[in-house]
């Protein structure tokens, strides 16, 4: 960390900063330039917030040399993290395609969808049972009942289950039933939830917040990693900008940027990132072409009767077409679609 003093900083102020650097358990290295005095703060700086120095009299700016996320950083872990997910691996050569309805609505709906997406080439099944809804009057999910339907869908198709957790109170229940815990955009900085999940060994799909920076996403991943859970996938799902033609703005730049900064797998959600079924396939292709490790896509057998997100859900046949296109792009990228090989228990 470098602490750059203001041009008119007094020797007493410089001295005081040096003391504070030492008080933080770091070594201080003074460098007196012509234009500015710089104090290097050396040691384990990633767990020290810059603001404890920024606030000191005479300090101009404080600049990190090393990133504030350590466990998530590629600097300390150059190889991709690759972890197994019930029949295939995420983060390696295989492209994961997680598909399913926004919400589990009924036993038949989820089983029908699971079979359709499996046939179309999906590698995992998504389906929400606890739904974060803007309005208290909207459908809030089937809860535990929905988890049972998901379990049945897994049994029939062999697809691992991805479902959203909204509160640490749901943790035991969710860990028992699902293969991947999804943390939604609105909970990306629910630090109590992140810490609780970090203490489990269940893989996590961490969605970027609507207006979270890439660094904040990585810091939230760091919460989970710091607890000991190393199986974290990051998910770009569109950010909130001034443009309202689409529901969100896909930050496609985030794909190569994240692949550069972190060793964790990076997937993209073209359904939320666009909000319109018509644009999902184009953005799915773009994501894989940009280097993403997978996709999470909303598919519904009858979007017109979906209780939520029908507008952005693909019909199974359109999803099948998308998978085919994505597979071709994957090949050019030197990769291939993950396929669930495991014996299905009928």
| Residues between 280 and 319 that touch a copy of itself (CB under 8 A) | 282-283, 285-291, 303-304, 306-311
Residue pair 298/69 in contact (Cβ under 8 Å)? The answer is no
Q: Minimum Å distance from CB 126 to a copy of itself?
A: 18
Number of residues that this document lists for the chain: 346
Q: What is residue 220's DSSP assignment?
A: H
Q: Minimum Å distance from CB 255 to a copy of itself?
A: 7
Binding segment for a copy of itself (CB under 8 A), chosen from 84-92, 116-124, 145-153, 163-171, is 163-171
Regarding 183 and contact with a copy of itself (CB under 8 A), the answer is no
Interface with a copy of itself in residues 83-102 (CB under 8 A): none
Among residues 217, 195, 192, which one has the least CA distance to residue 207?
217
Rg from Cα positions in the chain: 23
Q: Which position has the token pair 């939830």?
A: 193
Regarding 9 and contact with a copy of itself (CB under 8 A), the answer is no
Task: Provide the token pair at 343.
Answer: 């014996």
Strand pairing report for 294-298 and 37-42: unpaired
Nearer to a copy of itself (CB atom), residue 150 or residue 255: 255
Interface with a copy of itself in residues 194-223 (CB under 8 A): 194-195, 210-211, 213-216, 219, 222-223
Q: Which position has the token pair 């049945």?
A: 152
Determine the size of the site formed for a copy of itself (CB under 8 A): 104
Q: What is residue 268's DSSP assignment?
A: E
Tell me, residue by residue from 243 to 282, as one string, x for binding to a copy of itself by CB under 8 A and - for no binding.
xxxx--xxxxxxxxx--x------------xx---xx--x
Interface with a copy of itself in residues 109-148 (CB under 8 A): 132-138, 140
Q: What is residue 310's DSSP assignment?
A: G
Q: What is residue 313's DSSP assignment?
A: P
Strand pairing report for 89-90 and 83-84: antiparallel
Regarding 169 and contact with a copy of itself (CB under 8 A), the answer is yes
Q: Which position has the token pair 């969710």?
A: 174
Q: Which position has the token pair 């060994």?
A: 201
Tell me, residue by residue from 32 to 71, as one string, x for binding to a copy of itself by CB under 8 A and - for no binding.
xxxxx-x-x-x---xxxx-xx-xxxx--xx-x-x--x---
Nearer to a copy of itself (CB atom), residue 107 or residue 276: 276
Q: Minimum Å distance from CB 338 to a copy of itself?
A: 19
Nearer to a copy of itself (CB atom), residue 115 or residue 325: 325
Q: Which residues of 116-126 are buried (b: 16+ CB within 10 A; e: fewer)?
A: bbbebbbbbbb
Q: Minimum Å distance from CB 1 to a copy of itself?
A: 8
Interface with a copy of itself in residues 314-343 (CB under 8 A): 325, 328-329, 332
The torsion of the CA quartet 296, 300, 305, 307, rounded to 10 degrees, works out to: -30
């Amino acid at each position: 960390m470098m602490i750059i003093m203001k041009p008119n900083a007094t020797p007493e102020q410089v001295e005081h900063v040096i003391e504070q650097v030492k008080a933080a358990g770091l070594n201080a290295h003074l460098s007196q330039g012509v234009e500015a005095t710089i104090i290097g703060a050396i040691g384990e700086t990633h767990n020290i917030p810059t603001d404890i120095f920024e606030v000191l009299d005479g300090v101009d700016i404080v600049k990190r040399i090393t990133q504030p996320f350590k466990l998530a950083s590629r600097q300390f872990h150059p190889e991709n993290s690759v972890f197994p997910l019930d029949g295939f691996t995420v983060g390696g050569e295989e492209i994961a395609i997680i598909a399913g309805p926004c919400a589990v609505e009924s036993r038949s709906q989820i089983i029908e969808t699971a079979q359709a997406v499996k046939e179309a080439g999906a590698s995992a099944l998504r389906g929400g049972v606890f739904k974060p809804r803007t309005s208290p009057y909207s459908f809030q999910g089937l809860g535990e009942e929905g988890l049972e339907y998901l379990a049945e869908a897994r049994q029939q198709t062999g697809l691992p289950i991805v479902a959203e957790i909204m509160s640490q109170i749901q943790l035991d229940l969710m860990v028992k039933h699902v293969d991947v815990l999804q943390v939604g955009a609105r909970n990306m900085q629910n630090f109590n939830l992140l810490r609780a999940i970090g203490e489990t060994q269940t893989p996590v799909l961490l969605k970027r917040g609507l207006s979270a920076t890439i660094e904040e996403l990585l810091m939230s991943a760091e919460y989970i990693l710091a607890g000991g859970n190393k199986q974290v996938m990051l998910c770009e799902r569109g950010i909130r900008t001034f443009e309202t033609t689409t529901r969100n703005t896909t930050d496609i730049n985030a794909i190569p940027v994240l692949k550069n900064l972190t060793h964790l797998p990076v997937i993209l959600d073209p359904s939320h990132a666009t909000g319109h079924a018509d644009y999902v396939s184009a953005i799915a292709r773009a994501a894989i072409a940009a280097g993403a490790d997978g996709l999470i896509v909303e598919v519904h057998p009858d979007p017109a009767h979906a209780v939520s997100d029908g507008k952005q859900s693909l019909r199974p046949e359109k999803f099948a077409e998308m998978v085919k296109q994505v597979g071709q792009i994957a090949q050019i990228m030197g990769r291939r679609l993950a396929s669930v090989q495991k014996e299905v228990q009928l």
